[in-house]
Structure 1
Amino acid sequence: MALGRQLMARLDEAARHSRPGPGVTRLFCSDEHRAVLELIADWMRQAGLTPELDASGNLVGRNARAMAGEKTLIMGSHQDTVVEGGKYDGMLGVALPLQALQALKEAGTELPYGIEVVAFGDEEGTRFQSTLVGSRALAGTFDPASLEARDTDGVTLGEALKGFGGDPARIPELARNPEQVLGFVEVHIEQGPVLEQRDHAVGVVTALTGIERHRMRVTGKAGHAGTTPMAGRRDALVGAAGMVVEADRILNATEELVGVVGKLEVRPNAVNVIPAEVTFTLELRSPEADVRERGRREILEAFERHAEARGLELSVETTYQAEAVACADWLIEALEKACRGCGEPAERLFSGAGHDGLAMHDLTDIGMLFVRCRDGLSHHPDEAISGEDAGRATQVLMRFLTDLGASAQAGPPT
């Protein structure tokens, strides 16, 4: 399928803008970010959109109707990646709608509503641990305090944005008027195994999971590893290790709750010194807020018991929290209709990952189309989709856009 081949070629080209090493590593406001935006801007122009870098580091492409202030459908996803991630997470949702819009343009199809495609600057939070910067800016919920977040080199988010060509002081001006927005639609790889198990190329998302992240600091006492008796040691790493195991036990015993300890730092991190301090992260996800809250409470109580038993101090800082959000019924039904019109099964499924829709939900109705990925693998260099599925998903989105055109003047159902 020509659409699929073209799309896969674009995704391969985008993946070259990465730090050296396995997979794709492209961080917010990095040289790789700057380079890939030049590529995306060219795709936008080919699709009939005018690209512009906004104050928060998003690259936004608009058609003439959007720039004239007509009611606008926003599409897009993020360009940034985790460290050593894959080439499709995020970038598929930027490249695919631009491919669909270019195909419609070349076919002479003019959509009777505004279009805005956004390559969000930061969704993963890899560099500054402050996620959804760009989508929160559009939704009008950006927190200026996040500008003080620092990367591992001590650079603040605000400083990085200024160096990148953004303007932190003008971020509040990016908030869209809800009355001028039709909705937000994102295409994304599933990052899970459901579509592959069903043997379906695409699926329609019903809701996005709730997520919370915490930073734990376990403090003990350093000492000479050779002269300090084992009994009575206040080893922060041993205590933290017990906490990690306990978190894993509770997560495995709790339905509809998943989580991970993904980052761990040891101080002084020396071969012959008892660890004095360990900092680690805990992320929890669940579609049900009460399940997540109950799991968090049980995990933190277990951590406190471990700390007390070993004479350690424990501090907990919540660094991020977003509640689960539902996709709009009218967009779910419209995407299902487009799937059926293209001969694709249109079963519904839940997203266990967070996306820019978590923020955009505060602005407008959201909808999401998932694309099958091999082995359900994501955030990994081996992340993969097929060219055939890419083409089929592009056709579904084209059908959705043209169907929406028939009712654009009336707006979404009420």
Structure 2
Amino acid sequence: MQINQDRYKDHLMTLAEIGKIGETGVNRLAHSKDDRKAVDVVQGWMKEAGLTTRIDGFGNLIGRTEGTEPDQPILMMGSHIDSQPYGGRFDGTAGALGAIEVVHTMKEQNIKPVRTIEVICFADEEGSRFNKGVFGVRGLIGQLEEGEILRKDKNGMTRLEALREFGVEPDLSESPVYKPGDIEAFLELHIEQGPVLESKDKPVGIVSAISGPIWLTVTLEGFAGHAGSVPMHLRQDAMLGAAIITKEFNELVRREGTPNTVGTVGSIQNFPNSRNIIAEKVEFTIDLRDIDLDARNRLEEKLYQLIEKTSKELNLDYSITEDTKSDPRYCADWIKEIMKKHDEQLGYQSPTLMSGPFHDALFMSYISDYGMIFVRCEKGISHNPLEYAEMEDLQKGVELLYHTAMEIAGA
């Protein structure tokens, strides 16, 4: 092993204490006080690794070490350190801290790369606070949407207010920061968040592609009435509509999706939210994703038809907001070949697998070639305090990241 295993482990466990819930959980929401505390701690580790650091107006933490040929397109590595409200210790952080460890190891071995290297902790990858994620990376590549900075969290705070509380002043005129040609390659290490590596009894995997997600927010509006006096056939029950759509959407994906199709209703809000009042307004989120774009598009069309049909049958009004829509993105063959070469030398025999979850790398792919390394996690559990990865597996993943980065950076 080239990397410092003890230092990497110490960084992971130290960061897990910030926003800790229970014994193993983490609640470190984007732009929150705990998120800022984490950024400050990680910024210190970047500086120890010899990186010059800055926090930009989107909340991204960026560290940079100059190469001997600074005019060449740079190598960028990283992930995120924000979490779900009921998250685990390794999602995002394994890759963000792994990238720092790669550069720190280069420094200790007096290796000066040809390419400039930047390590980044992207802001708000998770999207749980403002119901729209990968904010920091989209700010860097120019994919922020009009009015997005004014999206509100469940407490009514806008992202603009949250960023200012975080300690930065957003300037959307800075976006995009990077353009095609600026970055030679983007590398991201991440826990798999799925069961494939465990089923194959392999610690590490090389990613082939990231499936394309669609995030929708559906609003159904009926009419509130007394739960004890309005006959069933006269009701305009928005909650019933949401329940029917949820059930039939699940059946649609199971029946007509590919083996890689997944669909989820994940968040629901009910008004007036009283046990003895018929629900007048229900808002819920839908997550649909697949690596097969044609299959996903067919299911999306049928989902819209399902929402329209159910609303009509129950005499409800409906609206659909598209929060995120991305095509599947494929890892660069030349980066995969470099990974496979070093993987063979390390003796890992890592399989190639796709990613169902999306990552910051998906959006970096719009301006740069990219590659990803997955690390086995127990039972595929993620977005849950039970999320767990063996340190030995994580270290092997970072070791593969190190050798891949060394070759691409010309070190």
What does residue 238 of structure 1 align with? 240
Residue in structure 2 matching 1:168, options 147, 167, 170: 170
**Code of the aligned partner of 2:399:** Q
What does residue 358 of structure 1 align with? 362
Matched, 1:13 2:17: no
Aligned with 1:61: secondary structure?
Answer: strand
Q: CA RMSD in A?
A: 1.9
Residue in structure 1 matching 2:280, options 276, 279, 286: 276
Inter-partner Cα distance in structure 1 for 2:397 and 2:329: 23
The worse-fitting range, judged by mean Cα deviation, of 155-164 and 195-204 is: 155-164
Report deviation, 1:67.
11
What does residue 292 of structure 1 align with? 296
Structure 1 residues 227 and 179, CA, compared in 2 at 3 Å: closer, same or farther? closer
Structure 1 residues 265 and 66, CA, compared in 2 at 3 Å: closer, same or farther? farther
Contact 2:117-2:409 at 8 Å conserved across structures: no
Report deviation, 1:146.
1.1
What does residue 343 of structure 1 align with? 347
Structure 1 residues 142 and 216, CA, compared in 2 at 3 Å: closer, same or farther? closer
What does residue 320 of structure 2 align with? 316
Contact 2:195-2:379 at 8 Å conserved across structures: yes
Query: Equivalent residues in 2 for 1:13-412 (5 A)?
Result: 13-18=14-19, 20=21, 23-65=25-67, 70-169=72-171, 172=174, 175-253=177-255, 254-255=257-258, 256-406=260-410
Residue by residue over 1:150-190, the C-alpha shift from the partner in whole angstroms, topping out at 9 and shown as x without a partner, is 11122211222223232322552551243332110000001
Contact 2:67-2:112 at 8 Å conserved across structures: no
Structure 1 residues 137 and 66, CA, compared in 2 at 3 Å: closer, same or farther? farther
**Code of the aligned partner of 2:375:** V
**Code of the aligned partner of 2:263:** G
Contact 1:4-1:390 at 8 Å conserved across structures: no
Give me the identity figure in percent. Answer: 34
Inter-partner Cα distance in structure 1 for 2:156 and 2:317: 26
Structure 1 residues 15 and 250, CA, compared in 2 at 3 Å: closer, same or farther? same
Contact 2:270-2:279 at 8 Å conserved across structures: yes
Aligned with 1:316: secondary structure?
Answer: strand
Structure 1 residues 164 and 244, CA, compared in 2 at 3 Å: closer, same or farther? same
Contact 1:55-1:171 at 8 Å conserved across structures: no
The worse-fitting range, judged by mean Cα deviation, of 63-72 and 235-244 is: 63-72
Report deviation, 1:64.
2.8
Contact 2:70-2:115 at 8 Å conserved across structures: no
**Code of the aligned partner of 1:18:** G
What does residue 412 of structure 1 align with? none
Structure 1 residues 171 and 337, CA, compared in 2 at 3 Å: closer, same or farther? farther
Inter-partner Cα distance in structure 2 for 1:267 and 1:143: 28
Q: What is the TM-score when the length of structure 1 is the normalising length?
A: 0.93
**Code of the aligned partner of 2:239:** L
Report deviation, 1:143.
3.0
Residue by residue over 1:293-312, the C-alpha shift from the partner in whole angstroms, topping out at 9 and shown as x without a partner, is 11112122222222222222
Report deviation, 1:70.
4.6
Structure 1 residues 218 and 66, CA, compared in 2 at 3 Å: closer, same or farther? farther
Report deviation, 1:112.
2.1
Contact 1:338-1:397 at 8 Å conserved across structures: no
Contact 2:53-2:62 at 8 Å conserved across structures: yes
Report deviation, 1:337.
1.3
Aligned with 2:207: secondary structure?
Answer: strand
Q: How many residue pairs end up in the alignment?
A: 407
Aligned with 1:65: secondary structure?
Answer: coil
Report deviation, 1:195.
0.9
Contact 1:142-1:172 at 8 Å conserved across structures: no
Contact 1:80-1:122 at 8 Å conserved across structures: yes
Identify unmatched segments of 5+ residues in structure 2. none
Identify unmatched segments of 5+ residues in structure 1. 409-414
Inter-partner Cα distance in structure 1 for 2:340 and 2:49: 25
Structure 1 residues 13 and 185, CA, compared in 2 at 3 Å: closer, same or farther? same
Structure 1 residues 75 and 171, CA, compared in 2 at 3 Å: closer, same or farther? farther
Contact 1:140-1:363 at 8 Å conserved across structures: no
